[in-house]
Structure 1
């Protein structure tokens, strides 16, 4: 857990340090354009991740003591990710060539796509499944420092959004190279010939989770696109700033869950009672962290935004306080969805819930965003996450509840 906290701290600390710099240098409007392009590219990252960060982690944790099976999982997963990367490139190329709203920002999109490729070939899921995250601590910090320096040195004023995207992507490239080099040096796993059947099996394993994540990402990233359509990039910039801070805070309790996830998955297959004990411990840690973060944002948002980001992001203060409501709600969904149902292998259940809440989201997000702006967008997300959290909790307790004859 400590190593994951350090790694995720690097993943979010340096972007948080960049926010005030990019906000001041690029200005609210161009920062909004950058956020809009990043929302588009996030769909490609989602495609190349394909749920493997969860499903492959679980497979690695189960097969960790079988070198041949572990190499088969590693090779099939990497082959699937390379195929998905090619598909994402074709989609980006088609968008840049034929969609006017994207072609105008092609330099930013191309620069950000470098990070998509690097992210796809970085096997964090392997290190996490083996519970060897310590190995990635130093490479993560080196990559983030390099990325931070590149952005500061390259971005000097308005019109440099593409250079900002490139600087951020370079950090991902450095981490990918370091992770692959460590795998090659240690020879814990090796790339072996993978058949089409093996690659299809990997894609099939990840598909339910991928579909679930697509549904979640659809309404999350769709929010920025919808805001841009109704209210323009300046409002997107204010919303994106608050949203990025909330996501960074949210990462703290998600890291705790990521540390528990492979162990809970392993215990579900070997010792269900121990898995339940771990779940109770994870609940206390994650819920406590989420509530503490909610209180801290309510108290410090005004002072922090004014000091850190400046007057031009004053509108983000209320948005950030409203976004903080999501922290305890999402913590409930994360515990009972990811650590509960997903660790039990109930991916179909997750997919059904995400499909349902996405349909609900589409019913109210458009009118709320149109008439209430960014506040309406955040309210719609709170509603959607609340429905999802309630469903996950109900389904999890139904799943682990002993049969009637056992209770009798």
Structure 2
């Protein structure tokens, strides 16, 4: 290990340390769904479990809206300032105050949506209590710690939050009547992490009150990323929401039981991209492309391995984790959904890493819009007719469409800048 460390440059050592920290965090993200999701399905029953998951799907859009694309644009700006030994304060508080304003606006929009549809208003408290997750995410400056490449701090804070949430669940969720505690405990975990991380981040910056002058271009870029993120989340959260409207909470519960496990597999790529992104952002075009040549076969191999595990061990995984027959009898759909673990890694390589590092926000937006439009059209046509099976096929097909588009745009960028 020491020999390897000597071969790495200072920047490469930082990337390796951040990747190590993120692997620990992502390992926790793999482990906890294996504990929490089956536990909730058993304790709450499929209907209440599906209701709680439906609220989480809606919160995905809220989180993306309050983030406003800063997860990529602000991270890149902070990384550039770090390379120049500059002051982070100005950009930090332009992002912070923008997110606080968005937090209020999004909450007001959420209330209008919840109380405008009977499907939501019947259980309005579940959705509003779930908003604590959005608050916690908004005040947690992940983008800042990623930009200054202090990912170990994020790991420690996230571990604390997830442990709090998990312990509370196992202590106080004993039956279907306790379903309201799930969003409460989830919110407590996220808000705790947000407050701790915000306090720690203040030692790197000097306090500033709102001042949005001179950052029009930055907010314009952020809006493009935001639009892309909303479009990409339509391919994730909208599947559960549309299924819930047409098939009910129990079927959402079945889909969520599968989708949460697949999401954990999909997120195995996140530590790689988060650790490399600040590093790649600072590099010249030639170096970026050299990194991509090395990453493409590695990510493809990882995706094939991930899907092989799901395909060959899928029956055993589902039967060990879940008890409800409606979940077990749909194991083949779980294996189909598992293809996402293969498709998403390669599409994210362009959409999450290369395109933002190259500032190809317009191309990224176009790809995400194509995926979102395809997803929505297919869902509204087929989900009312075929329910769960349609949702699984549409979700998987959308990831394939995103991969094809990413490959086309990457090839186009190589040719245009040859």
User: What TM-score does the superposition give when structure 1 sets the normalisation length?
Assistant: 0.92
Aligned to 2:238: 222
Asked if structure 1 preserves the Cα contact closer than 8 Å seen for 2:235 and 2:371, the reply is no
The 1:402/1:220 distance shift into structure 2, 3 A limit, reads closer
For 2:166 and 2:382, the matched residues in 1 are separated by 36
* 1:248 CA displacement: 0.5
Aligned to 2:3: none
The 1:386/1:230 distance shift into structure 2, 3 A limit, reads same
Asked if structure 2 preserves the Cα contact closer than 8 Å seen for 1:111 and 1:163, the reply is no
The Cα offsets for residues 193-213 of structure 1, whole Å up to 9 and x where unpaired, read as: 331335755532310011111
For 1:386 and 1:44, the matched residues in 2 are separated by 26
| 1:89 maps to which of 107, 128, 137 | 107
For 2:179 and 2:291, the matched residues in 1 are separated by 44
SS of the counterpart of 2:282?
helix
The gaps in structure 2 that reach 5 residues or longer are 1-18
For 2:319 and 2:155, the matched residues in 1 are separated by 32
SS of the counterpart of 2:65?
helix
In the TM superposition, 1:385-400 aligns within 5 A as 385-400=399-414
1:154 matched to 2:154? The reply is no
For 2:121 and 2:311, the matched residues in 1 are separated by 40
Aligned to 1:233: 249
Aligned to 1:317: 331
For 1:242 and 1:316, the matched residues in 2 are separated by 9
Aligned to 2:206: 190
Aligned to 1:179: 197
1:329 matched to 2:347? The reply is no
SS of the counterpart of 1:64?
helix
Report the aligned-residue RMSD: 1.9
1:9 matched to 2:27? The reply is yes
For 1:225 and 1:333, the matched residues in 2 are separated by 24
Asked if structure 1 preserves the Cα contact closer than 8 Å seen for 2:314 and 2:335, the reply is yes
Q: How many residues align?
A: 399
| 1:251 maps to which of 267, 289, 304 | 267
Aligned to 2:320: 307
In the TM superposition, 1:3-152 aligns within 5 A as 3-66=21-84, 68-152=86-170
Aligned to 2:8: none
For 2:89 and 2:29, the matched residues in 1 are separated by 28
For 1:103 and 1:64, the matched residues in 2 are separated by 47
The Cα offsets for residues 160-197 of structure 1, whole Å up to 9 and x where unpaired, read as: 2220111112111121122122223xx22233233133
Aligned to 1:288: 301
1:272 matched to 2:290? The reply is no
Asked if structure 1 preserves the Cα contact closer than 8 Å seen for 2:48 and 2:249, the reply is yes
* 1:299 CA displacement: 1.3
For 2:29 and 2:320, the matched residues in 1 are separated by 22
The 1:274/1:202 distance shift into structure 2, 3 A limit, reads closer
User: What TM-score does the superposition give when structure 2 sets the normalisation length?
Assistant: 0.90
For 1:96 and 1:385, the matched residues in 2 are separated by 29
For 1:111 and 1:194, the matched residues in 2 are separated by 28
For 1:56 and 1:43, the matched residues in 2 are separated by 20
For 2:80 and 2:86, the matched residues in 1 are separated by 13
For 1:199 and 1:315, the matched residues in 2 are separated by 54
The Cα offsets for residues 262-311 of structure 1, whole Å up to 9 and x where unpaired, read as: 111111xxx33322222223223322221111000111111111112224
For 1:156 and 1:25, the matched residues in 2 are separated by 6
For 1:336 and 1:95, the matched residues in 2 are separated by 34
The gaps in structure 1 that reach 5 residues or longer are none
Q: Which runs of 4+ in 1 moved over 6 A?
A: none
Asked if structure 1 preserves the Cα contact closer than 8 Å seen for 2:23 and 2:271, the reply is yes
1:354 matched to 2:368? The reply is yes
Asked if structure 1 preserves the Cα contact closer than 8 Å seen for 2:221 and 2:361, the reply is no
SS of the counterpart of 2:45?
helix
